């Protein structure tokens, strides 16, 4: 096929080169942004007297028709086209004639693709953020019901100190609040318009870049034309935000997988979000969580693709940069799917509080509280720590727990022990006494819930 850029050369390239060069199969998803960008460009050119009003009107009408036809399927994307920008311009010229050929005045595909990508991705950020809020609401919704559900908190995956399930879940809610913050920060820098940078060195026409940018909802314009066309920081930043969010979801997944195992059985996932085994009839596998964990690696790969693609590029545009889109689209599609699945999985799971409470009863997770009891009676913490360790060892040897250890036996370790020790090591009291800000006590958890609810918005 002869190219629109035929001129110096005949524009006849080999089929294999065409296939290799074409990006239409993946950049076609930006058709709406491309068309809206072109409409704004025509309006600006006409406002500056670079394009006649008639030509601008005919271009706008032609583009509106193409947009409508692409949306309703009357117009099919030509897989043989070089990219979405060429395709739209070609169809426009076929439909409206010579005016169509004037649209590309004072711009280049280099600033056009940078524009389209920013427009497309800022919408994606809005969608991702909405999904994060929805997941946040699901997580806090479950947490609300479990402010008194005691479970062991872990370090090194060893039972450590008592917390509540609400407190544990709210740790993930806090991660999601930071994710929201990161995405909105990323959006700020993304929402700057590169259009008008042209190929790399601006243009001799008296364009109005601010006007074009404002009409497309941008907050400002890029300040250096070479940077404008070659900057893909906004893609790297977005993938960084997505990678961190996926890392959070992956950690959460790991816990979901552990908690649904027979070894823990703290939760049971709804059958809507589990799969069976083709051979073992008893299996209920947490495939969704495993897939989220697995896809996290894939998203990290997308981030690395982008960083590596960019690291050796001289200014300004290089064709390598066409490789940005598949990586960034893959990450965006993946994280959106993961957020949807996660939300459903969390809001339909059954929480087995009895199992959590049982696990909390074993593992001496109130040993710190035992030491703190002695400290409050005047013993230095290190001495109290040693005595409590000795008591735990003794309990283990006898196959008992701190709650069942008789007072006389306690007193053999220290005369400071009195009847009130049992109140001090009661798990519910241990949690309640953890009044430090950000701790698991009911009051602190309520505060966390309020903040989370404010950030994630009301229940939908």
Under the binding rule (CB under 6 A), the answer on residue 306 touching ligand ARG is: no
d(CA 147, CA 149): 6
Query: Is 322 a residue that touches ligand ARG (CB under 6 A)?
Result: yes
Tell me the two tokens of residue 435: 């009044």
Binds ligand ARG (CB under 6 A): choice among 38, 110, 149, 305: 110
Q: How far is CA 210 from CA 117, 199, 275, 416, in A?
A: 18, 18, 54, 76
* Residue 90 makes contact with ligand ARG by CB under 6 A: no
Q: What are phi and psi of 439, to 5 degrees?
A: -85, 180
Q: Which of 38, 62, 81, 83 binds ligand ARG (CB under 6 A)?
A: 83
Binds ligand ARG (CB under 6 A): choice among 218, 259, 317, 410: 317
Q: What are phi and psi of 44, to 5 degrees?
A: -65, -45
- Strand, helix or coil at 351? strand
- Active site (annotated) includes residue 184: no
**Residues touching ligand ARG, count (CB under 6 A):** 10
Q: At what angle do helices 165-190 and 233-260 cross, to 10 degrees?
A: 170
- Binding mask 9-48 vs ligand ARG (x if CB under 6 A, - otherwise)? --------------x---x---------------------
113 is a contact residue toward ligand ARG (CB under 6 A): yes
Tokens of residue 1, six digits: 């096929």
Q: How far apart are the first and last CA of the chain?
A: 52
Question: Is 38 a catalytic site residue?
Answer: no
How far apart are alpha carbons 20 and 312 in whole angstroms? 21
Residue span binding ligand ARG (CB under 6 A) among the ranges 219-227, 317-325, 332-340, 392-400: 317-325
Nearer to ligand ARG, 11 or 294 (CB): 11
Contact residues for 146 (Cβ-Cβ < 8 A; gap 6+): 164, 165, 166, 169, 351, 353
From the list 105-113, 146-154, 207-215, 357-365, the region that binds ligand ARG by CB under 6 A is 105-113
In Å, how far from its chain's centre is CA 154? 26
Question: Is residue 115 close enough to count as binding ligand ARG by CB under 6 A?
Answer: no
- Whole-number Å distance between alpha carbons of 410 and 218: 70
316 is a site residue for ligand ARG (CB under 6 A) = no
Catalytic residue among 10, 156, 278, 436: 156
- Minimum distance from residue 20 beta carbon to ligand ARG (Å): 12
Place of tokens 């074009």: 212
Our finding on whether 118 is near ligand ARG (CB under 6 A) is no
Among the listed residues 52, 261, 270, 277, the single catalytic one is: 277
Q: Point out the residues that are catalytic.
A: 156, 277
Would you tell me which residues interact with ligand ARG (CB under 6 A)? 23, 27, 83, 109-110, 113, 317, 319, 321-322
């Amino acid at each position: 096929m002869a190219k629109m850029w035929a001129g110096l050369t005949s524009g006849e390239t080999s089929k294999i080169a065409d296939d290799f060069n074409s990006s239409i199969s993946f950049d076609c998803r930006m058709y709406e942004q491309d068309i809206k960008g072109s409409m704004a460009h025509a309006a600006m050119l006409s406002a500056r007297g670079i394009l006649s009003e008639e030509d601008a009107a005919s271009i706008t009408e032609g583009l509106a028709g193409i947009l409508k036809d692409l949306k309703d399927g009357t117009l099919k994307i030509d897989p043989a086209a070089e990219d979405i920008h060429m395709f739209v311009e070609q169809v426009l010229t076929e439909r409206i004639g010579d005016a169509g050929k004037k649209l590309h005045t004072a711009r280049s595909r280099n600033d056009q693709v940078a524009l389209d990508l920013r427009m497309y991705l800022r919408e994606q950020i809005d969608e991702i953020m909405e999904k994060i809020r929805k997941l946040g609401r699901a997580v806090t919704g479950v947490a609300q019901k479990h402010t008194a559900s005691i479970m062991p908190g872990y370090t090194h995956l060893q039972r450590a100190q008592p917390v509540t399930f609400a407190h544990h879940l709210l740790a993930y809610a806090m991660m999601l609040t930071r994710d929201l913050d990161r995405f909105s920060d990323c959006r700020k820098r993304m929402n700057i318009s590169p259009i008008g940078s042209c190929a790399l060195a601006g243009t001799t026409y008296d364009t109005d870049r601010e006007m074009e940018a404002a009409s497309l909802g941008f907050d400002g314009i890029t300040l250096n034309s070479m940077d404008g066309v070659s900057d893909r920081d906004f893609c790297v930043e977005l993938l960084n935000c997505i990678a961190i969010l996926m890392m959070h979801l992956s950690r959460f997944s790991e816990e979901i997988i552990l908690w649904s195992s027979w070894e823990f059985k703290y939760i049971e996932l709804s059958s809507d979000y589990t799969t069976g085994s083709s051979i073992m009839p008893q299996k209920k596998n947490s495939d969704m969580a495993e897939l989220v964990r697995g896809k996290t690696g894939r998203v990290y790969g997308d981030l690395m693709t982008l960083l590596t693609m960019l690291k050796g590029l001289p200014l300004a545009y290089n064709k390598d940069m066409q490789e940005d889109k598949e990586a960034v689209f893959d990450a965006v599609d993946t994280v959106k799917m993961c957020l949807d699945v996660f939300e459903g999985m969390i809001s339909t799971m059954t929480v087995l509080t009895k199992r959590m409470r049982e696990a909390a009863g074993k593992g001496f997770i109130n040993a710190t509280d035992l030491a703190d009891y002695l400290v409050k009676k005047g013993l230095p913490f290190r001495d109290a720590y040693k005595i409590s360790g000795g008591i735990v060892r003794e309990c283990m040897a006898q196959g008992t727990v701190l709650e069942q250890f008789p007072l006389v036996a306690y007193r053999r370790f220290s005369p400071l022990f009195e009847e009130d020790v049992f109140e001090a090591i009661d798990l519910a009291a241990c949690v309640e006494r953890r009044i430090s800000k950000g701790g698991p006590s009911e009051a602190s958890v309520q505060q966390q819930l309020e903040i989370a609810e404010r950030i994630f918005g009301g229940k939908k």
